[in-house]
Every structure is written in C-alpha cells, then in structure tokens.
Structure 1
C-alpha cells in the first residue's frame, strides 16, 4: 500500500466498484440500486418515509495508512447508503459483527474474528496483500475475499520505485550520509554505484516486472525467479529485460551470483520457510 496519492486514488475507484456490489448484496430490500450519487441523494431524502433504512457499513481496520480511509470517504461522500468507519486494531473483534465489508489493511483476520462477522459480505484489502486473512474460514462463512491488483492501479509501480529507492539508499549509505551532512564531513561516506551490479528478483509478478523495467537503464544484470514463465503469466516482453530466469528451486544458486536480492513474493508459510528466513 504505497503512499502515492495517484495510486491511492485509483485504488479508491476500484474499491468503489466492490463496495457498490457489496451494497447490492447487503441491502436485500432495495430491489433497484441507484446508479449515480444524485440518485443516492434522492433515496436519502426518502429514508423513513418508505421504510428503506438499510445502510452498507464499511469497516477500515486500524489507523495506519490513513489515506486509504480518507480517500474512500471523500469519494463516497455523496453516497449516503454507504457508511465508512475506522476503528483501532484492538477494537475490530468487538465491532466487526456490525459491518458488511471489512478493509483489513494490516489487521490479522483469523477464524475467531470471522466467526463474529455475522453480517459480513466481503473482506478486502486496500491493495494486494491478503496474507493476514484466513481465506478458508471466510469461504466457509460464505464471505468473499478480494484484493485490488497492483498491475492495474499504480500500486506495483509505486512499490517498484520504493524498492529501487531503498536499494540506492543502502548502496549510498544514506543513514551515514545524513550524519556526515550534519557534521559537515564532505566526501563521506564513500558509497557504491548500482551500475554493474547483479540483482536477483525473487517473485517476478506485477511488482517484480516493474522493478526490472526501472532497473534496466542502470546497467545492471537482472536475475529472476517465477513459478510459471509461460507467456500468459507474464504481461511484458522478457527479451532484454531479464538476463537469467528460473524457478524458485534455483533461487539459492542464483543468490550466489547476486550482489542484491529483492524479494517480491507473496508472504505465506511456504515462502517464509523456503526463502525469506534463509536470506535474513
């Protein structure tokens, strides 16, 4: 969930699509949902008079990444039948039974919490990562689980830029440089260039591809792993983009060649046990 507003705004548009679909499922007494904010406003003025008092309630978990809640509220301000609330992480289990949609952010939604979500229709992420959601438990409760693909929203690009920024910061010894500037020590520290380095990208999905595109002009050698390299799983031309590609089973061999390793894999038990802990 990168902090660029352009990416977050596009995420909000995608979120609205899911919220609107959930509203249709949650408000069973509304046979014809309005198609525009103006129509929603007309319905709002008639609440009580015709007995339509259903509101689709959306829960944002936690106060971290506040832009996600702010942008969603801004976009939905003319939709009175969708109410957006944000509560602290510790209070989610106490209130989740009152909501139809849950935006998890960095909250772990386990089977115990899901069991309390008696009105829930959708558990979704304001971005990509769903590793904190017990998807099997949600499925058993007939709750849909959704995410917003990073390849279509700008999120993958924002993450790729951040990964390159952090890589350059490490090579240039940014923290030491901050101290040197304060102490007026010119010429210190002596950093390294990224030019000529060999970089291994573990997980060549949407983020990995965007990283490779942006690394190529730096004059680096790019190695990458991916479970399936078939053409229908890669949305770009790999010629000239990746110097050596392989599967996860060869990542240790590739890591021996690499100066820098960038991990872009989904965080789950398999990826943690097979790779992440080995590189830490």
Structure 2
C-alpha cells in the first residue's frame, strides 16, 4: 500500500517511521512547504496531523482507502464524504488523554495562582531576583467545584486529578445513562448530568473544563448566556476545540470581568494572530495546541496508527474506526 503522512513535528515523524519500519511498512512524509495535492494523489492511506481533509483533497486521491487522524478530533475531516466514497476514517481516541489532562491542570494552576499577574522583579545591577509580596492573591483548589464538560477518556482523567486536589467534581456529558454503573469510583465524579442540565450546573462551578468534540451540537455551546451564568470568580479552561466557545462572548466576559479568567490550548485560527484582542488581556492565557504532544503520547499514537495500517493491509478494518461503510 502507498502510505503518505501529513506530519510536521520531527519527533512524531521519527516515531511513526520507526514503528512502521519495524513492521516492514514504508511511509513517505509529505513536504509541507510544497503543494500538498500533487504529493498525495496516489495515496491509499493518508496519515494526517496538520491538514483539512475536505472534498477537494479527497477527490484528488482516487485510490484512498483510509484517512488516519493522529489525534482524537476528526472535525477537520469530511467524514460524510469519506463514507460516501468508501473511505475509512480512524482516529486515536485514548493515547494522549493523560498528557491533555496534565496540561489542563497546568492551565488551571497558572490561572488560579495568578502567575501571569504576579512576577518577581529583577535587579538590573546583580541579575538576581528580589522577592516581594504578591499584588494578586491566588486560590486553593481544595474544596472547589470543577465542572467537566464531556466525560470521555480525557474528561475522566481530568476528573481523577481533580479528586486528587480535593475538589468536588460534577460532569455534563451527552449520554450520562451509560455512565451510571460504578459512580464515583469508576468516573471520579460526585454528580453526573445530561446536556439538558448545563445551564443549571454552570452557576455551581468554580472551574469549567471543556473536553467535548467539536460538532454541530457543541459549536458555540459556551456563549454569552452560559458565561453570564458562571460565577464572577470562576475560570474557564478549553483544551478541546476553540469553537466550542464563542470568541466574542468570551472576549466580552473577560473584559467586563463577568468571569475571573480563561485559559485555552486551542484557538479559533491557528496559529493565533498575535493582535487578537484576547491575547492582550491579563486574565487570558493561551498555549499553542501542545497539550497532547508528549513523548509518551506520540509513542502510543504511533502504535495505534501502526496497528490500524497493519489491519488494513490484512483486509481488516481499523480498530479505532469513526465511520461505518455499509
């Protein structure tokens, strides 16, 4: 099979190549500085971590049989058209959950300890740092309430860590009735709600952490009304997809101190425009979509990609399929 990879990260390239070469599978990495389509037209399997897989790109690959996304999110892929064309789409649903959960708490702690607003002043003469009392007090997480939006694999890992901090954890998820067995011991939540209860539970939370996929149901799920329902002292965290939150509504809520702050690892246009008004605010923090990029995560991701490709070469379907071909 002809396998092409749309990958920029050099460490990720190396791990994919090593894993596939170990199974005697050859992969060609696309030069992202050159036009993409001429390089991938003969692809049968396309590994994607950077590009939008739309109708025009799909039509340019008449032999395409599998689009293998390198992460959990598949909103950049036209899944319906892939299905219509008889092309499998697979993702990597669990490999970076721990990495993303850990990054979530990096963002939470950065906000709640007011690290951005407090700093050490340096001495220009000695180059040493002079300790001073903080201008802005932080808060403890212990005893606070976290609302997890989306109790999938990553959401559960976040809830687990919130419990370790002594937090009360509530969650809103699409199918709560599938997560009733086991309760707190299994999902690390004190109470579980359906999406219909979102407006009721937002005023309870001190931290709202988003872990939902992006689709028609979740786009702009957090908008002006939702933000106004949150506590003035509450913080919003988004490591999922930027359009789950309405940009203008978030900007207004932070400017007007309707909520205390927000931190995100995803942006509406990436890389973010440095002139974006959000980036000028003291109560907003952005990291450049790096939550899932750890050595451990890319190793696991590469393993799943290898397994799915091996299955395709044996005439089997991928293990992590997101569409069905009838």
Per the TM alignment, residue 89 of structure 1 is displaced from its structure 2 partner at its CA by 7.4
Per the TM alignment, residue 143 of structure 1 is displaced from its structure 2 partner at its CA by 0.9
Distance, in Å, in 1 between the alignment partners of 2:164 and 2:69 is 33
1:205 aligned to 141, 149, 152, which one? 152
1:171 aligned to 105, 108, 112, which one? 112
Q: Which residue is equivalent to 2:276? A: none
Distance, in Å, in 2 between the alignment partners of 1:132 and 1:102 is 14
TM-superposition CA deviations, 1:33-75 (whole Å, max 9, x none): xxxxxxxxxxxxxxxxxxxxxxx33222242x43322201122
- Does structure 2 retain, via aligned residues, the 8 Å contact 1:161–1:211? yes
Distance, in Å, in 2 between the alignment partners of 1:80 and 1:214 is 40
Q: Which residue is equivalent to 1:187? A: 133
- Does structure 1 retain, via aligned residues, the 8 Å contact 2:148–2:171? yes
CA RMSD of aligned residues (A): 2.4
Q: Which residue is equivalent to 1:127? A: 71
Distance, in Å, in 1 between the alignment partners of 2:131 and 2:193 is 45
Distance, in Å, in 1 between the alignment partners of 2:115 and 2:47 is 35
Distance, in Å, in 2 between the alignment partners of 1:119 and 1:71 is 26
2:87 aligned to 118, 123, 143, which one? 143
Q: Which residue is equivalent to 2:99? A: 158
Per the TM alignment, residue 85 of structure 1 is displaced from its structure 2 partner at its CA by 1.0
- SS of aligned partner of 1:230: helix
Distance, in Å, in 2 between the alignment partners of 1:84 and 1:109 is 18
Per the TM alignment, residue 234 of structure 1 is displaced from its structure 2 partner at its CA by 7.1
Change (3 A) 1:249 1:66: farther
Q: Identify unmatched segments of 5+ residues in structure 1.
A: 1-55
- Does structure 2 retain, via aligned residues, the 8 Å contact 1:201–1:224? yes
2:194 aligned to 239, 243, 247, which one? 247
| Aligned residues between the structures | 219
Change (3 A) 1:236 1:127: farther
Using CA pairs below 8 Å that are at least 6 residues apart, which structure has the higher relative contact order?
A: 2
**Which entry has the higher C-alpha Rg, 1 or 2?**
1
Q: TM-score, normalised by structure 2?
A: 0.61
- Does structure 1 retain, via aligned residues, the 8 Å contact 2:97–2:153? yes
Paired residues for 1:35-184 under 5 Å: 56-63=1-8, 65-88=9-32, 91-150=35-94, 153=95, 155-177=96-118, 179-180=119-120, 182=122, 184=130
Change (3 A) 1:242 1:80: closer
